[in-house]
A and B are shown apart, each in its own frame.
Chain A
């Protein structure tokens, strides 16, 4: 069964450094999302991406964050200058059509020291 994959599974970085989290969507999926889950808290929506542009973003998704599909396959989340409070599990999700369910990747655990 096709699935969403994410790399790396765990990223440790120093505060102020840039990180790029990668997601490989299920083939032919058209809608892409990033969510995050701070330890002990609920899963929060960050951003949705469709037709090569951001369609919606939350208040969490400030100027430090950006997303792109550089090669038409990978879907990346970049955090320009990480802060301690960016430490969380980041989930990518994708779906084929507007009314379909979203399929979640296994997540990338980001630890900012």
Chain B
């Protein structure tokens, strides 16, 4: 069965520090990968996605992620975090198969707290 795991449950950083959040998935076939962000009191928003092509994808707000197929990983990075990045980050996966009957499988989430 497919699954997504996120290594860090809670990360605390100072402003301007660099960020890397780990994400690994388990599935033998073709996958689409996503990072979602959930700011306090708000709904899930898409940060970035990987469908195919360049494995280094850039998203909104200066975030990027790199798909490394050999490691089944899709880590999220940002060179310099801001206080406004405080949120919960979810890695997610869609398994591609015919019929469009797809569901998103989410990781457990990483709470990021940025200290001013």
Query: Complex: how many Å from CA A23 to CA B36?
Result: 20
Q: Report how far A58 CA is from B100 CA in the complex, Å.
A: 16
User: B101, A42: Cβ atoms under 8 Å?
Assistant: no
B108 and A45 form a contact (CB under 8 A) = no
Inter-chain contacts of A105 with B (CB < 8 A): 43
A98 to B42, CA, bound (A): 26
Q: Are A44 and B43 in contact (CB under 8 A)?
A: no
Q: For B101, list chain A residues within 8 Å (CB).
A: 48, 50, 55-56
Q: With the chains together, A37 CA to B41 CA distance in Å? A: 13
Query: Chain B nearest CB: distance from A41 CB in Å?
Result: 7
Also in contact, A97 and B100, with CB within 8 A (given A104-B44, A105-B43): yes
Q: Which residue of B lies closest to A105 (CB)?
A: B43
Q: Looking at the complex, which one of A55, A101, A104, A107 makes contact with B99 (CB distance below 8 Å)? A: A55
Contacts of A43 in B (CB 8 A): 44, 90, 92, 104, 106, 109
Considering the complex, which residues of chain A in the window 81-110 have a beta carbon less than 8 Å from any beta carbon of chain B? 91, 93, 97-99, 101-107
Q: Which residues of B contact A (CB under 8 A)?
A: 34, 36, 42-46, 49, 51, 90, 92, 96, 99-109
